[in-house]
Amino acid sequence: MTDKDLYIEKARARIAQWDAEIDRMKARADEAEADAKIEYRRQVDEMRREREKAETRLKDLRDASDRAWDDVKSGFEKAWDDIASAFDNARTRYQ
């Protein structure tokens, strides 16, 4: 497995973790009172948007040629950090 393949697998695993967190948040929303339900759903929507951004970035990374890998990787890492931070902020606001 190449470094690129390992890197992509690591990113896929993180997205899978985010999917599980979104599912847990949705379950909480389903059990919450009406006012809290609105906030939980808003939070779930925000988390999904961030997850979709991450998936888009991962696709760009997968599609990068070997020669462009280093350039794409550095841009991906910056974007990934921003997305991860936004996702974590969204998650912790309503735990």
pLDDT of residue 16: 92
What pLDDT digit, counting tens, does each position of 45-95 carry? 888 888 888 888 888 888 888 777 777 777 778 777 887 887 787 777 766
pLDDT of residue 13: 92
pLDDT of residue 64: 81
SS3 60: helix
- The pTM of this model reads 0.68
pLDDT at 3 over 70: yes
pLDDT of residue 94: 62
C-alpha dist (Å) from residue 64 to 1, 10, 17, 30, 90: 16, 16, 24, 40, 30
